[in-house]
Amino acid sequence: EIKVSFSQIEFGGFGLFNAKIEIELKINHDGEVNRARYMPQNSSLIATKSPSAEVLIFNYTKLAGLPKEQIMSMSAEACPELRLRGHTKEGYGLSWNPNASGNILSASDDHTICLWNIEKTPTEGKFVDPLAIFSGHQAVVEDVAWHLFHETLFGSVGDDCKLMIWDTRSDDCKLMIWDTRSSNYTKPSHVVEAHGAEVNCLSFNPFSEYILATGSADKTVALWDLRNLKLKLHTFESHKDEIFQVQWSHHNETILASSGTDRRLHVWDLSKIGEEQTTDDAEDGPPELLFIHAGHTAKISDFSWNPTEPWVICSVSEDNIMQVWQMVIR
């Protein structure tokens, strides 16, 4: 099921949301929801990843007009608008293209990435076949993300410890590295060894077309510049376990957050990298570590920055708790 829950918890030194969050709509789903993302051009459409190999597309407005009692009593059968097929195994990575309406990418345990356009006519019934399947990783593809400025570019990361940048304009779907010094897209001489362990997530900076971050099972977040992927710009170290999500702030180009198995969500500030610290401050972490949210008691599965309210984050954990919280910036 996809649903909203709320536990009213006071987070030490940070704002308490007094308003209760109630379930307005329940959408039946095929098994666990590995990931859910709404389409940026049409927030009525929600894509989900399930334990099956399919990506499901739901239109929640078709249910919104029904009486709440009828919604809550509906059968457990999932009724998606579309089923996107092409994978042979489940996965977690899912990304809508912010610049090309209807284009969506999915990463899978089958070592591939699929690209669909949901605005195309279904192949049969509710089933949509992929426009392209990208094969480059030699292990599970953990995450995939569209570039936020260039509609044909996307990145992927996987259990092979690799970061890959792709261009959908390549006819043969070969791996491409973006050469920002020209308008050409050239084949790479190598694949980026991003971390010393599985790479679980990536995020492109919404303010700079060159900057992206990756998070890994090696407990670090890495900062990259697309103009020179041979050199890692910086490594953020403070997490005690595997990192499963990293996301940039919508309001400040130097702020990003990361979360994972250690039940902590860390907020980082790039502008503080290299600042001098006292011995006491250094014991709390590096200067770029702005804040640690420690309100969860289980692995943090996912989180999202509020796109309209600065410093507001919604985070969810594997004990089915969702927390909405805000940092107080003094």
What pLDDT does 319 receive?
95
What pLDDT does 73 receive?
63
**Cα(94)–Cα(14) distance, integer angstroms:** 31
What pLDDT does 121 receive?
80
Give the residues of the chain that fall short of pLDDT 70: 1-19, 65-76, 170-190, 330
What pLDDT does 21 receive?
82
Amino acid code (one letter) for 226: L
Q: Is 2.130.10.10 the CATH number for 101-326?
A: yes
HSE-up of residue 82 (Cα within 13 Å, Cβ side): 23
> Which CA distances in Å does 139 have to 112, 143, 153, 214?
9, 12, 21, 17
User: CB–CB of 250/262 below 8 Å?
Assistant: no
What pLDDT does 109 receive?
98
User: CB–CB of 201/246 below 8 Å?
Assistant: yes
HSE-up of residue 65 (Cα within 13 Å, Cβ side): 4
What pLDDT does 18 receive?
58
**Sheet strands side by side (includes 112-117):** 94-96, 103-107, 112-117, 132-135
pLDDT per position as a tens digit, 169-193: 865 544 444 443 334 333 333 479 9
Domains of the chain: which residue ranges?
1-100, 101-326
Q: State in Å, rounded, how far the first CA of the chain is from the last one.
A: 39
Q: In residues, how long is the chain?
A: 330
**Cα(85)–Cα(212) distance, integer angstroms:** 29
What pLDDT does 68 receive?
66
pLDDT per position as a tens digit, 215-230: 999 999 999 999 999 9
